[in-house]
């Protein structure tokens, strides 16, 4: 038995596929590709298929990591090619690699955000990101209850760039994405709308990579 990491690109209309449907899609693809999975032991054995960091609905991705445990002697390239023959439109296996780091090692994610342009929007966003104060409300838990928490998105940001180009405003940014500290691109855009006084509408959001604490790829 060995653990491999399948990197799934999710583009176009496939971005509206929910996490639960992605799990079902992956299981169907594995069965159709006749990939021999490792099953847990016990009364209710099940295959080991784990999405390391579920993608928010409506966000595209260049490579979502899905860890699976294999029996048999298929190579990583054979797993990639076999899965790609069964994947639906908009979902592609870009690479299969040996899994080294654990999902708990995830610390950040890099996003590319394309916004519809407005006069002066890029400058306003740049000023808001540089301010160090981007308050937002985030749904969390206190015990078993769901509560709304006040957060400062600036404290959950890493490197970023803002560019006005080709009739779009582009934001490339690193956001916290670990199990303890995390911020979605949607919370970022809500905070920027409040800070700039503009109704910010996005054209496309793409998660480019999932990162470790040292900013190397997961």
Q: Give the C-alpha separation, 130 to 46, whole Å.
A: 48
Q: Are the C-beta atoms of residues 134 and 191 closer than 8 Å to each other?
A: yes
Looking at residue 45, its pLDDT comes to 82
Looking at residue 144, its pLDDT comes to 73
| Structure tokens given for 190 | 């809500």
pTM: 0.92
Looking at residue 142, its pLDDT comes to 67
Angle subtended by helix axes 121-130 and 185-196, to nearest 10: 110
Instruction: Indicate if 105-211 has the same CATH topology as 2-100.
Output: no
Per residue of the chain (218 residues), what is the pLDDT tens digit?
899 999 999 999 999 999 999 999 999 999 999 999 988 877 888 888 999 999 999 999 999 999 999 998 899 999 999 999 999 999 999 999 999 999 999 999 999 999 999 999 999 999 999 999 999 988 777 667 778 889 999 999 999 999 998 889 999 999 999 888 999 999 999 999 999 999 999 999 999 999 999 999 99
Pick the CATH number of 2-100 from 1.10.510.10, 3.30.70.890, 3.40.50.720, 3.30.70.580: 3.30.70.580
Looking at residue 166, its pLDDT comes to 82
Looking at residue 1, its pLDDT comes to 85
Looking at residue 143, its pLDDT comes to 66
**Domain 105-211 adopts which CATH fold?**
Pseudouridine synthase (3.30.2350)
Q: Where exactly are the structural domains of the chain?
A: 2-100, 105-211
């Amino acid at each position: 038995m060995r653990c491999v990491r399948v990197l799934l690109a999710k583009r176009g209309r496939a971005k509206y596929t929910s996490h639960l449907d992605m799990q079902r899609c992956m299981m169907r693809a594995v069965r159709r590709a006749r990939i021999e999975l490792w099953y847990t032991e016990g009364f209710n054995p099940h295959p080991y298929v784990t999405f390391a960091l579920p993608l928010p609905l409506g966000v595209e991705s260049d490579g979502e990591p899905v860890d699976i445990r294999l029996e048999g002697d298929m190579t990583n390239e054979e797993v990639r090619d076999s899965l790609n023959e069964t994947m639906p439109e908009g979902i592609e296996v870009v690479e299969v690699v040996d899994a080294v780091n654990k999902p708990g090692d995830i610390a950040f994610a890099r996003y590319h955000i394309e916004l519809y342009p407005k006069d002066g929007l890029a400058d306003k966003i740049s000023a808001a990101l540089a301010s160090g104060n981007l308050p937002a409300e985030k749904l969390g838990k206190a015990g078993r209850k769901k509560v709304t928490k006040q957060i400062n998105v600036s404290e959950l940001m890493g490197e970023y760039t803002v560019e006005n180009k080709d009739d779009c405003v582009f934001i490339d940014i690193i956001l916290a994405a670990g199990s303890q500290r995390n911020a979605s691109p949607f919370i970022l855009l809500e905070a920027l709308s409040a800070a700039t006084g503009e109704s910010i509408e996005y054209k496309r959001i793409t998660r480019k990579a999932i990162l470790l604490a040292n900013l190397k790829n997961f």
